[in-house]
Structures are given as C-alpha cells and as structure tokens.
C-alpha cells in the first residue's frame, strides 16, 4: 500500500518547532521524519524526536482511564470506563463547589505540548468557565520575559540566519547544541566565515567546547558581569553617546551607577579573571555587529530579572539595536500574542480570583493556599513531581488524603503515580494543532495523522467532555480544533501587521507560513515601550517593587543549614525535553546513569572519586547520583541535568533539592540558586533503575 504522508509540527518545548512528516498506512504511522521543505528543520530532527514513533507506540503508553486501588502512591490501579471517570470527577467537583467554591480546584499544565489548541486554549476556557484558581505560569522564562518587555517593549528577535551578519556572538547562559539544535548549523557557518563565538556559562557545555572563548562565571552573577562590561566599554570610549541620547531613557543615571562596578569588584563577584573580563569587553566593543544570544536558563536564579535587564543594556550602550547581526537574539514569541479575548472567552465566567504560583505548588498543597484550600488538583501536559522546584514537598502535598487529584498524560509519570484518577492522552500524531515558535517566525500546522490510540483523548477533547459533565454548553467550549484555531487566528490577525495575508486555509494548504516580520527587529531604533526608547530606567518597574535601573542585585543565598557550599545548576539534558522522553530506553541508554558533575577540587575535599555513588542533600531533601569528576564545571558549582524521573532513577530526582524561593521578577523559579552538599554514599541499589 502507498503510504499517506501527513504534515505536522513538533509540539515539544524547543524554540525550533520543526515541521515533520508522518507516513501512514491503514491508520498506523510507519515512518516519521523532518519535513524537507520546512526552513527551520531543514531536513533533520534532533536525537530525541527522531525516534518519535518509539514514543507514540511505546508499550507503556496509557490506553484507558485508571482508578487508584489502595493508598495513594501504592502503584495499584484498576481500569475504568471514561464514563465512570468523568462521572467521578463531576461528582467530586460538585461537592467541592458546594463546600469551598471553584477556586479550591487548581489546574496545573505546562509544556508537554506548546500548541495553541492543546496547551493555550485548553489551559484557559474550561477553567475560566468553572471559576477555578488561576495558575501563575512562571516556571520557565517569566523573569526574562518581564525584563525584556520592560526594557525593549517586546520579545522580538531575528531568525537564526541573522547570525551570519554578526562578527561576534556572545552565547550567554544558553546551550543551543542541546536546546536549540537548528541554530547550530548557522552558528558554525558564521564561525567558519570568521565570526568570533564566546560562551558565558559556569559549565563547559557542548556549545562552550566549540567556542573561541569560554568564560565560566559563578551562577547568578551575570548582571554584575554585564555592568562591569558596560563600565569598561564606556572607559574605552566604545559607547555611542549619540545613540544613547536619542534612543534610551535613563542613560545619565545608568552611567552614574557604573561607578559601583570597578573591575576588581566584578572579578571578585563573578569569579572571573580581570583579564578575561577586559578581553570580553574589548571584543564586544570592537567586533561589530555583535549579537547577544540567550534563552531562559540564565533567568532561573534569584537575580534572573535584573540580570537580563543588565544584559539588555549592552547593545544600547554600543548603539547596536536595530541593525542586522546586532542586538539580542532571545525570543520571537512577541510577534504572535494570541488574542486574549478569543483564547479565554471570559464572558459569562466567574471573575478570575486568586492565582497560585506553580513554583509554590508543594507549599500551596501543604497549606499556603488556604482560602480556600486546594481540594482538587488537575494536572495535564506537565509532570510537577519530577520537574517542578521542591518536588519533595509536591509529593508530600499530593499524598494528602483529602486531595482529589486527576492526571492526564501519555505515561504513568511520577506525578500520575500520586493521582486518584489517571486519564490517557493522545500524542501529537493523534491530534490537531497550530504552533507558533519562539526561535523562528513561522507558524506550523499539525494535521492529525492517525486515530487516537486506545481510549486516548486530546487535552481539548477532554476539556469539552469535562464541560459537558459540568453542564456548560457554551459553543466555545465545544468547538472543533480547527474552529478554535480559526477563531483565535482571525482575532489575533486583526491589527497585527505580522499576520498580513495569513489565514487558516493558507496554513493548512502550505503546512507552515512565515509571519510578515521585519528582517531586523527595532529597525531605526524604535521600540514599542511607552517612551518609544530602550528603557534603561523603567519606571513601570517601581510599581512592582523593583529598582527601575539594573545594577542592584540580591545578595541573599539559598540557605539550608550548615555546610551548604555548592551551587546546583540543572540545565537541559541533551536527550530529553525536561522529563518528556526520559522514560524511553533508547534515549536513557544514550544519556547514561543519572549523574552530577563536580570539580576535582570540590571532589577531593570530600573524598569523592569519579564514578562514585554520591548523596546530594540539603534541608529540602536528598538524592543519589553517580559522580562525574571533571573540570568542565567551575569550582563551587555542581551540575545535574534536569528531566530524570525519580521512579526510573531508583532514587529521588534532583528537584527534591531545588529551591522554591522565588526570583526577583514575575514569580520566576530560581532553580540555579539552589545550594547543596555532597558526600560519598555506599553502593546499594543500582542507580540506573529499570523501566517501569
Ligand atoms: N534537549 C533539550 N532541549 C530543550 C529542553 C530540554 O530539556 N532538553 N528544554 C526546553 C526548555 S523548557 C527551555 S526553557 C529551553 C532552555 O534553553 P537554555 O536556556 O539553552 O537551557 P538550559 O540548559 O536550561 O540553560 C542554559 C545554560 O545556562 C547555564 N546557566 C545556568 N545558570 C546560569 C547563570 O546564572 N549564568 C550563566 N551565564 N549561565 C547559567 C547552564 O549551565 C546551561 O548550560 O530549552 C528547551 N530545549
Ligand atoms: N531542575 C530543573 N528543573 C526544571 C528546569 C530546570 O532548569 N532545572 N526547567 C524548568 C522548565 S524551563 C520547564 S519549561 C519545566 C517543564 O516542566 P513540565 O511542563 O512539567 O514538562 P515535562 O516534565 O516535560 O512534562 C510534560 C508532561 O506532559 C506530557 N504530555 C506531552 N504531551 C501531552 C499532551 O498532549 N497532553 C497531555 N495531557 N500530556 C502531554 C508528557 O508525557 C510529560 O509527562 O521544567 C522545569 N524543570
Ligand atoms: S525538539 Fe526541537 S529540534 Fe527536536 S524535533 Fe522538536 S522542534 Fe525540532
Ligand atoms: Mo522551559
């Protein structure tokens, strides 16, 4: 039989949002590959998504609803029908509505899929209609987003190809070799053409290993480094006074503040040699255009917001915004802000009440949210027991006998293990969606390729079923995916010049379309801030309790009792997307056992040798990992990559140690401000664990 080829989009949390093709024979997907016509994918997929059919046809895929037998977390389940599952949810929720009101119900979703229908609208409409608690979605890039919008007015970036116009690229707290793979060919091409590549990262990542220069500062000190660089640039006359006068607000005050950042202080705080800082300032001052590239890893610390504000000042000081190959390449997300009215449909809904910060989930379940208490937790497209800060508290909270928890996922995750009911979710091949990207200016359509496996349902289909059981018959709760897309797209396109000529019909016919964005953002030095300028001083920040100028940094640290002497950095794994795919044996084999990188000086001081089993601990919890003794991490810093499932690792995972103290801006998670201690552990159970 000749296969039918269906065009789709990779739904995972990655800036590339590749176009994909699925070959289907008789309702079965038989081949999966990159769409050769998709300009970002360019004919290849990353190591984790290439074997996507192993994910779709994994023997452990959930196929039907499950109800818990025995105590919470005991791992015993019975199969139930969808009818019974939905009836039980409706019954429990009606009781909760009577006793506590709807805000006692908390939906928790995040980045399992990034689609408009299955993530954005599925996280909004039904929950608004129910009147549930809002979720503050601040786990990933909230501080950097707030900082960028305050300073530049919008998250706009050029496409990856713009790096070919740069003479210098500073990749700052970002590891694109793993996290934005399709940027790498452009970077290599630029490098071969003579572009100098600098990486600023406390770890010698795969990206750093191929750079011309690698600086490894202490985590969280990037703002101080940026202020120090700014001062050196001004001292050497590399600043552009005319541009600053014309296109910025607050330059005189900012300049005065630079007095606080003499080189010796900056070197002391960052742990970098003065010469290395001077060298970077010289490169940035002289190699023009110079591009600063970062993602969200850099904002996951107590100073995440102000650090990004300080970074964003550098292109302004040198007058490099609005030129090809210059400025900042952070995110293209701001070109498409889905129309909030069409996404949310607030009409007829209870007024939105409290918002629960996802980074306080454990504390919220344990009583911090008490008016009303959280009586029901509904998790979909997320795995908080694995991926959210202070996971031990989440586990403890989810074990509450009086909490009614439903988890909708493709797999029986660490989070699903703690549920009362587990519902089976479709994979991307079994659902329809539209995807914007955060690393490119394409919109990519995902056509459903195969029927749902077993009794799986998509997020949006589930929202419609829940609405039906709760007696909500508004048409906007029961649209088809294409109707949702058409409505949101039409509303978004109105008044947004980037959507010129874009319709759903066109996207479906062509598979993907390019937004009508300018090649260079902020051309002519015009910014969508209230002043129309770069806001070095941003008075809007005062209302939120922040210093309106960058340059004052928090000095508190994550204190967990005596001896917490190492900073824990938990960047992205190469073979997983957060915890997604981290139960796939082929990828686990590539990734090796769960481990922690430690500098030889820190290892020797603790009697730890390479390959030792170690216990990592602080006041929040512990986990056991395999030590990798390496100078790829700077002294004082240990690195354990994110994503490992506790149940597969044979131990708690690293998020049992991460801090739930929030960062400076926007309720951001501060994973990389966590402090830990490490000791040798006796060899007992294997760490590698077994597949569930
Ligand atoms: N393969 C893969 N790709 C992914 C993901 C994944 O899990 N796996 N996750 C996706 C998601 S959710 C996101 S948000 C993006 C994130 O994309 P990135 O920001 O590129 O990813 P991270 O690895 O979180 O962080 C990048 C680097 O920041 C460094 N770092 C940490 N703290 C600091 C600091 O204070 N200063 C400096 N200078 N460096 C610091 C870390 O060592 C790490 O190498 O990637 C996405 N892509
Ligand atoms: N230690 C540490 N932890 C981190 C970070 C870090 O830097 N360090 N980074 C954080 C960041 S940046 C992010 S964005 C978060 C991400 O955290 P989460 O959003 O919780 O992402 P995942 O852990 O990948 O879990 C996603 C789940 O969604 C499921 N899923 C996939 N598609 C669908 C679908 O269509 N429907 C349903 N119902 N389920 C689906 C997957 O099977 C998976 O179990 O992790 C954070 N965790
Ligand atoms: S995870 Fe990223 S690089 Fe991999 S296929 Fe998906 S969009 Fe492409
Ligand atoms: Mo993220």
Ligand 2 pocket check for 425: Cβ under 6 Å: yes
Burial class (CB in 10 A: 0-12, 13-18, 19+), 1: exposed
What single string gives the DSSP state of each residue in 373-400? B--EEEEES--HHHHSSSHHHHHHHHT-
Residues 6+ apart with CB under 8 A from 616: 568, 596, 622, 623, 624, 625, 638, 640, 654, 657, 676, 677, 678
pLDDT of res. 682: 85
Hey, is 675 helix, strand or coil?
strand
In the sheet that 196-200 helps form, which strands lie side by side, from edge to edge? 213-215, 196-200, 168-172, 290-293, 327-329
Q: How far apart are the first and last CA of the chain?
A: 36
Candidate from 571, 580, 599 with most ligand 1 atoms within 8 A of CB, to mutate: 571
pLDDT digits (tens, 9 = 90+) for 295-354: 999 999 999 999 999 999 999 999 999 999 999 999 999 999 999 999 999 999 999 999
Pocket of ligand 1 (CB under 6 A): 13-14, 111, 140, 172-175, 178-179, 200-203, 205, 217, 219-220, 222, 295-298, 301, 569, 571-574, 576-578, 642-643, 672
Alpha-carbon span 453 to 58, nearest angstrom: 11
Tell whether the model's pLDDT for residue 460 goes beyond 90. Answer: yes
User: Among 254-268, 476-490, 549-563, 673-687, where is mean pLDDT lowest?
Assistant: 549-563
H or E stretch at 188: helix 184-192
To the nearest 10 degrees (0 to 180), the angle between helices 222-235 and 274-286 is 60
- In angstroms, the Cα distances linking 275 to 234, 281, 282, 523 are 17, 10, 10, 34
Instruction: For the chain, give the longest Cα–Cα distance.
Output: 73
pLDDT confidence of 686, banded at 50, 70, 90? low
Alpha-carbon span 140 to 183, nearest angstrom: 20
**How many A from CA of 625 to the centre of ligand 4?**
23
pLDDT digits (tens, 9 = 90+) for 386-432: 999 999 999 999 999 999 999 999 999 999 999 999 999 999 999 99
Ligand 2 pocket check for 655: Cβ under 6 Å: yes
Alpha-carbon span 672 to 95, nearest angstrom: 41
pLDDT of res. 1: 83
pLDDT of res. 124: 98
Alpha-carbon span 369 to 247, nearest angstrom: 44
Alpha-carbon span 370 to 34, nearest angstrom: 48
pLDDT digits (tens, 9 = 90+) for 150-173: 999 999 999 999 999 999 999 999
pLDDT digits (tens, 9 = 90+) for 228-273: 999 999 999 999 999 999 999 999 999 999 999 999 999 999 999 9
pLDDT digits (tens, 9 = 90+) for 92-119: 999 999 999 999 999 999 999 999 999 9
Mean pLDDT confidence for 501-525:
96
Alpha-carbon span 635 to 426, nearest angstrom: 44
pLDDT of res. 558: 84
pLDDT of res. 690: 47
């Amino acid at each position: 039989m000749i296969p039918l080829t269906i065009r789709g989009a990779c739904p995972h949390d990655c800036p590339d949002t590749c176009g994909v093709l699925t070959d289907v024979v008789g309702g079965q997907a038989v081949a999966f590959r990159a769409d050769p016509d998709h300009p970002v994918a360019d004919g290849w997929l990353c190591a984790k998504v290439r074997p996507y059919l192993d994910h779709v046809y994994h023997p452990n895929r959930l196929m039907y609803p499950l109800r818990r037998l025995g105590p919470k977390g005991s791992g015993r389940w019975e199969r139930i029908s969808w009818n019974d599952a939905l009836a039980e949810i409706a019954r429990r929720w009606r009781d909760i509505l009577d006793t506590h009101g709807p805000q006692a119900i908390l939906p928790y979703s995040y980045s399992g899929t990034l689609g408009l229908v299955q993530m954005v609208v599925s996280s909004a409409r039904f929950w608004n209609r129910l009147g549930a608690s809002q979720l503050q979605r601040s786990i990933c890039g909230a501080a950097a987003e707030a900082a960028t919008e305050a300073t530049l007015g919008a998250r706009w970036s050029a496409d990856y190809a713009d790096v070919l116009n740069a003479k210098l690229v500073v990749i700052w707290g970002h590891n694109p070799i793993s996290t934005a793979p399709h940027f790498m060919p452009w970077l290599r091409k630029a490098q071969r053409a003579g572009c100098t590549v600098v990486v600023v990262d406390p770890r010698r990542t795969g990206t750093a290993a191929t750079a011309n220069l690698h600086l490894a500062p202490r985590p969280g000190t990037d703002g101080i480094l940026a202020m120090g660089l700014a001062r050196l640039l001004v001292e050497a006359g590399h600043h552009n006074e005319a541009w600053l006068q014309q296109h910025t607000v607050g330059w005189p005050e900012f300049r005065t503040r630079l007095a606080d950042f003499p080189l010796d202080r900056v070197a002391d705080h960052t742990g970098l040699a003065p010469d290395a800082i001077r060298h970077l300032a010289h490169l940035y001052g002289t190699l023009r255009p110079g591009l600063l590239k970062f993602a969200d890893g850099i904002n996951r610390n107590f100073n995440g917001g102000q650090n990004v504000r300080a970074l964003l000042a550098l292109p302004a000081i040198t007058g490099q915004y609005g030129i090809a190959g210059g400025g900042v390449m952070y995110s293209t997300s701001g070109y498409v802000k889905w129309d909030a009215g069409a996404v949310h449909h607030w009409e007829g809904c209870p007024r939105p009440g409290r918002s629960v910060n996802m980074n306080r989930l454990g504390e919220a379940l344990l009583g911090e949210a008490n008016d009303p208490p959280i009586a029901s937790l509904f998790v979909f497209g997320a795995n908080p027991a694995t991926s959210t800060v202070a996971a031990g508290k989440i586990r403890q909270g989810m074990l509450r006998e009086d909490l009614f928890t439903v988890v909708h996922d493709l797999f029986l995750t660490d989070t699903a293990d703690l549920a009362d009911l587990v519902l089976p979710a479709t994979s991307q091949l079994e659902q329809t969606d539209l995807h914007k990207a955060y690393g490119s200016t394409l919109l990519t359509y995902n056509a459903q390729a195969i029927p749902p496996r077993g009794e799986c349902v998509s997020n949006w289909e589930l929202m419609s079923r829940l609405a039906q059981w709760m007696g909500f018959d508004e048409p906007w709760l029961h649209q088809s995916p294409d109707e949702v897309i058409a409505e949101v797209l039409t509303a978004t396109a109105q008044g947004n010049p980037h959507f010129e000529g874009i319709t759903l019909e066109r996207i479906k016919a062509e598979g993907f379309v390019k937004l009508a964005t300018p090649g260079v953002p902020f051309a002519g030095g015009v910014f969508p801030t209230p002043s129309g300028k770069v806001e070095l001083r941003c008075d809007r920040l005062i209302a939120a309790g922040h210093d309106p100028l960058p340059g004052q940094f928090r000095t508190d640290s994550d204190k967990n009792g005596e001896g917490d002497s190492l900073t824990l950095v938990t960047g992205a794994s190469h073979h997983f997307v957060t915890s997604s795919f981290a139960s796939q044996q082929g990828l686990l084999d590539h990734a090796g056992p769960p481990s922690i990188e430690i500098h030889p000086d820190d290892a020797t001081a603790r009697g730890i040798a390479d390959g030792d089993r170690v216990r990592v601990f602080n006041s929040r919890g512990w986990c056991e990992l395999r030590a990798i003794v390496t100078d790829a991490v700077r002294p004082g810093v240990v690195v354990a990559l994110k994503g490992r499932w506790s149940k597969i690792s044979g131990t708690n995972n690293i998020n049992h140690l991460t801090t739930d103290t929030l960062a400076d801006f926007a309720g951001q998670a501060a994973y990389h401000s966590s402090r830990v201690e490490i000791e040798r552990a006796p060899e007992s159970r294997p760490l590698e664990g077994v597949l569930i």
